[in-house]
Amino acid sequence: MEQGAQVTWDLLRQLKGNSSLPWIVVGDFNDIACLSEKRGAHSHPSALIEGFNDVLGECCLVDMGMTGGRFTWVSGRGTDAWVEERLDRAVATVEWLEMYDEAEVRNIYTNSSDHFAILVDLHTEPVRTALRKFRFESAWLLQPSCAKVVNDAWLL
């Protein structure tokens, strides 16, 4: 087993032991949870996959999934050594997920790193992409209901 993986897993266990509050962990776990989270040369050791899943279970952390690409890290693009893996993720306790039931995880491409950016959006309401200035149309004055609409709006 890799020493780095064990250090990360022990840290998660320690964090779980320090608090019973709802929590989320987001970032580069440098590990995969199943073989389908890897594409490319060299198999991923099954002991690492099992150990990663074991610590997620021990800490009661649930993978939140994500929208966007399937993989979050790439190496050797365009070569015979091309590898893609889902190393980055967001995991949370059920209590945290219940508090933020609308939360959405997005996998966002960036050209400045070999990792994709991970965004946890707590407010997934539609966002207006273009704000337009209000423009009064004088033709509205010709509408018989114009005065009533304006009057009703002012009284709100």
The one-letter amino acid code at 150 reads: V
Q: What are phi and psi of 134, to 5 degrees?
A: -70, 135
Please report the pLDDT score of residue 41 as a whole number.
Answer: 78
**Residue-range domains of the chain with CATH:** 3-154 (3.60.10.10)
Exposed, middle or buried by CB within 10 Å (0-12, 13-18, 19+), for 57?
exposed
Q: Please list the pLDDT of the chain residue by residue as tens digits (156 residues).
A: 567 778 889 999 999 999 899 999 999 999 999 999 999 877 888 999 999 999 999 999 999 999 998 999 998 888 888 899 999 999 999 999 999 999 999 999 888 899 999 999 998 666 555 556 666 677 777 788 888 887 777 765
